[in-house]
Structure 1
Amino acid sequence: MKTPIRFTALALSLMLGSGVACAADLKVGVSMSAFDDTFLTYLREDMDKQAKSYPKGDGVQLQFEDARADVVKQLSQVENFISQKVDAIIVNPVDTASTKNIINAASKAGIPLVFVNRRPDQKDLPKGVVAVTSDDLEAGRMQMQYIAEKMGGKGKIVILLGDLANNATTNRTKGVKEILAKYPDIKIEQEQTGTWLRDRGMTLVNDWLTQGREFNAVLANNDEMAIGASMALKSAGTKPGSVLIAGVDGTPDGLNAITRGDMAASAFQDAKGQAVGSVEAARKMAKNEPVEQNVIIPYQLITPDNVKDFK
């Protein structure tokens, strides 16, 4: 009887050891503003890869939730994470002006909070709250400077705005207009929101063309709307390259559009950099290790000359 007992004890020991290892993995709740957003899909995938890159027993288990562009739903998800007693929370905010309740809830519970991709509007974040983002002002400046030079400093542009609830839209557009201030002969013909969507970008540009509006360039707050603009111009029979189109993100579809000549430029937003930065920040904060409170992942200009470097 002794031998079976010894093997049973050994098996139990291994099981308990395995359980301890699994329990050591940090549990992090992640609320994304929308799963169907193209760039955020890449961001989510890179976050998952980063979480799985850590050694077993010293890693991170991510629980993703889709807020579906609903502020109330996102707050509810954060409250659920808190009730589950997760070790940290990562939020890609639906509305950057409506993050106060999320911050208050996490802070009251003493759970580390990381905002990724979109920074809350408030200037100073409290202790225990970190933002991992990119400078959207720089993205707007970058794309507009390149297009302004290609236009020879004169002409008309239209601007496709992202979701008006996000400061990414505000800041990218502000960056565009900062550069325009140096080029008084470049005028804004139209400026409307396409809510980050390809089909909305296509519809808006198609409407402007139908109205007989003339413009030399399209400045889009993201690649999806830029691609939509390109599709509308193609459908209208516009000569390829006669209207310059610039986006933001440097998504695979955006890179292909630049390679084909459908887009003139994009500002590369590093999804992997933001993903690694946010997951690592959550991990360190959960382990009471020091972190930088505002992590900025730089943009890079993509043009036909260097597009191959981003593929």
Structure 2
Amino acid sequence: MKTQIRFAPLALAMLLASGVAAAADLKIGVSMSQFDDTFLTYLREDMDKQAKSYPKGDGVQLQFEDARADVVKQLSQVENFISQKVDAMVVNPVDTASTARITKAAVAAGIPLVYVNRRPDQTDLPKGVVTVTSNDVEAGKLQMQYLAEKMGGKGKIVILLGDLANNSTTNRTKGVKEILGQYPDIKVEQEQTGIWLRDKGMTLVNDWLTQGREFNAVVANNDEMAIGAAMALKTAGVKPGSVLIGGVDGTPDGLNAISKGEMALSVFQDAKGQAVGSVEAAVKMARGEAVEQNVVVPFQLITPDNVASFK
């Protein structure tokens, strides 16, 4: 009897411990290319909301890390996640051409990997690695088609490029130029990188105006640079709307700029759709469930006619 009494608490403790382990949250490491990017901030916030939507006892913990636009730092974060034995990883890559080592490390460790928002340049990703992105070529085509029609098929444009290390920049611009191929009377006056930043977009457009360059439209790879362009034109005394400005993302600031007539359009990139898709994919893979390897979240054109429905 004494032996039974002495071991009963130990057995109970072991039972409780196993119960707690069974109900432990999934741990998912998330490396974002940079926290201070406006669109990626919305993406990160929506990922956090999605993780918190799972029921208690069957929950998800996200560990966010800021790579600060540093490829080496991002790889180090992934290696740390692996050493912590996380259940899955979500990576928003700094450089879409430099993801091979991240992919290799994840596959070698047997940890599911989801690339979100930016698809690696590598075309054939191995098993256990999935992407949740949007078709950036489509964004550029939607943007330029609308502007070309508003311009009456002729005139000059300037292009504000995103980060050149990012294939979103390449593909959005590719989409723009595919449409330009149908409009030989629309010429590209200038094309430079504003690295996604509002102040950089403003500086570039201000410089072009100072140089006396003339253009009928600004085609920006994202809303932040488009807003910067609008600010430069306003400062220079250019009447709002006389130079058409197009962005991509459909951020709240971008939507407000369209409502005020400062931007002609944006193309909605669904941060929530990408966030939900990436977290769900990571959770399913961590649980051994089947997932689609390439999830594509569609873009949508935003104009003054429908901007209210996106607010």
Counterpart code for 2:192: Q
Once the 2 structures are TM-superposed, how far is the Cα of residue 56 of structure 1 from its aligned partner? 1.1
After superposition, give the CA deviation of every residue in 1:204-233 in whole Å (9 maximum; x if it has no partner): 000000000000000000000000000000
Partner of 2:5: none
Partner of 2:234: 234
Partner of 2:20: 19
Once the 2 structures are TM-superposed, how far is the Cα of residue 20 of structure 1 from its aligned partner? 3.5
Give matches, 1:145-160, under 5 Å. 145-160=145-160
Does residue 296 of the first structure (1) align with residue 277 of the second (2)?
Answer: no
Partner of 2:197: 197
Give matches, 1:94-105, under 5 Å. 94-105=94-105
Q: What SS is found at the alignment partner of 2:160? A: strand
Does residue 54 of the first structure (1) align with residue 54 of the second (2)?
Answer: yes
Once the 2 structures are TM-superposed, how far is the Cα of residue 13 of structure 1 from its aligned partner? 9.4
Q: What SS is found at the alignment partner of 1:108? A: helix
Once the 2 structures are TM-superposed, how far is the Cα of residue 240 of structure 1 from its aligned partner? 1.2
1-structure distance, mates of 2:150, 2:15: 66
Once the 2 structures are TM-superposed, how far is the Cα of residue 18 of structure 1 from its aligned partner? 7.5
2-structure distance, mates of 1:13, 1:308: 57
Once the 2 structures are TM-superposed, how far is the Cα of residue 57 of structure 1 from its aligned partner? 1.6
Is the Cα–Cα contact under 8 Å of residues 50 and 279 in structure 1 kept in the other structure? yes
Is the Cα–Cα contact under 8 Å of residues 21 and 56 in structure 1 kept in the other structure? no
Cα distance change, pair 56–18 in 1 and its aligned pair in 2 (3 A): farther
After superposition, give the CA deviation of every residue in 1:119-141 in whole Å (9 maximum; x if it has no partner): 00011111000000000000000
How many matched pairs? 303
Counterpart code for 2:130: V
Partner of 1:71: 71
Partner of 2:124: 124
Once the 2 structures are TM-superposed, how far is the Cα of residue 15 of structure 1 from its aligned partner? 7.0
After superposition, give the CA deviation of every residue in 1:52-94 in whole Å (9 maximum; x if it has no partner): 0011121210000000000000000000000000000000000
Q: What SS is found at the alignment partner of 1:160? A: strand
Once the 2 structures are TM-superposed, how far is the Cα of residue 19 of structure 1 from its aligned partner? 3.3
Partner of 1:218: 218
* CA-based RMSD: 1.7
Does residue 184 of the first structure (1) align with residue 184 of the second (2)?
Answer: yes
Is the Cα–Cα contact under 8 Å of residues 34 and 66 in structure 1 kept in the other structure? yes
Does residue 112 of the first structure (1) align with residue 112 of the second (2)?
Answer: yes
Counterpart code for 1:67: A
1-structure distance, mates of 2:290, 2:14: 35
Q: What SS is found at the alignment partner of 1:242? A: coil
Cα distance change, pair 126–14 in 1 and its aligned pair in 2 (3 A): closer
2-structure distance, mates of 1:22, 1:166: 39
Give matches, 1:250-269, under 5 Å. 250-269=250-269
Is the Cα–Cα contact under 8 Å of residues 284 and 290 in structure 1 kept in the other structure? yes
Does residue 89 of the first structure (1) align with residue 100 of the second (2)?
Answer: no
Does residue 270 of the first structure (1) align with residue 284 of the second (2)?
Answer: no
Which blocks of at least 5 consecutive residues in structure 2 are unaligned?
1-8
Of all paired residues, the percent bearing the same amino acid is: 82
After superposition, give the CA deviation of every residue in 1:251-300 in whole Å (9 maximum; x if it has no partner): 00000000000000000000000000000000000011000000000000
Which blocks of at least 5 consecutive residues in structure 1 are unaligned?
1-7
After superposition, give the CA deviation of every residue in 1:134-170 in whole Å (9 maximum; x if it has no partner): 0000000000000000000000000000000000000
